[in-house]
Homo-oligomer: A and B are copies of this chain.
Amino acid sequence: MIECWFEFGSNYSYLSVMRIEALAAARGVTVRWKPFLLGPIFKSFGWETSPFVLQQAKGAYTWRDMQRQCEKYNLPWTQPSRFPRSALLPMRVALLGAEQPWMGAFCRCIMLMNFAQDRDIDSPAAVSEALLALGLPDGELMAAAVAEENKLRLRAQTEAAQARGIFGAPTFFVGEEMYWGNDRLGDALTAAARG
């Protein structure tokens, strides 16, 4: 079992979310999805936005790196015209879906909207489109997603991330071992497959 802590606004989460289900299945590993919000964690460091925006040189490098990484993994890529994109609504839906069979497909759909189609993902139109494409009751799910109880659950999950030492996304856990970044997905899966 591998826990995948991610956020739809995070470009390196994109690389992992697109690949993790297939890679895990090939090794007989179960994925446990853990959506959480990066914003409050960055704020706790005194950062008002992504380090890729705050540090100009690192940001410039990141976009070139993403281009090369997507080529390597054969994933589509368009540099988002807005970064980081807020993703509150799809994150809330992802929290609802975390243990549902449609979770992986829903996450890939939202990620592609952000990082391949350069679309606003924090809108009922986008989320509804993603849910309908999977044959899901969009209105019902979005209503449940914005219910107070679910909002509080996402806040609690974000606090749990921070309490566990998470400082960026994606982050993987295999038991108590933490692995940070898409670059560690392979190592994390190897550890998970070892059991």
A68 within 8 A of B: yes
Q: Given A72-B187, A183-B183, are A167 and B58 also a contact pair (CB < 8 Å)?
A: yes
Q: Given A65-B180, A180-B65, A183-B183, are A165 and B60 also a contact pair (CB < 8 Å)?
A: yes
* Contact of A187 (CB < 8 Å), options: B61, B68, B166: B68
Q: Given A68-B187, A187-B68, A187-B72, are A55 and B61 also a contact pair (CB < 8 Å)?
A: no
What class of interface size applies to chain A in its complex with B? 20 to 34
Report copies per complex: 2
* Assembled-state Cα–Cα distance A183/B185 (Å): 12
* Assembled-state Cα–Cα distance A178/B61 (Å): 8
A143 within 8 A of B: no
A64 within 8 A of B: yes
Taking CB atoms and an 8 Å cut-off, the chain A residues in 159-178 that contact chain B are 165-168, 177-178
**Contact partners of A61 in chain B: CB under 8 A:** 165, 167, 178, 180
Residue of B nearest to A41 (CB): B57
* Contact of A165 (CB < 8 Å), options: B57, B166, B177, B181: B57
**Contact partners of A55 in chain B: CB under 8 A:** 45, 167
Q: Provide the A38-60 mask, 1 if CB < 8 A to any CB of B, else 0.
A: 00000001000000000101101
Residue of B nearest to A59 (CB): B167
Residue of B nearest to A179 (CB): B65
Tell whether, in the assembled complex, residue A178 and residue B45 are in contact, meaning their CB atoms are under 8 Å apart.
no
**Contact partners of A64 in chain B: CB under 8 A:** 177-178
* Assembled-state Cα–Cα distance A61/B180 (Å): 8
Q: Provide the A63-84 mask, 1 if CB < 8 A to any CB of B, else 0.
A: 0110010001000000000000
- In the A-B complex, the 3 residue pairs with the smallest Cβ-Cβ separation, listed nearest first, are A57-B167, A183-B183, A57-B165
13 intermolecular pairs with C-beta atoms under 8 Å apart: A57-B166, A57-B167, A58-B167, A58-B168, A60-B165, A61-B167, A65-B179, A65-B180, A65-B184, A68-B187, A72-B187, A181-B183, A183-B183
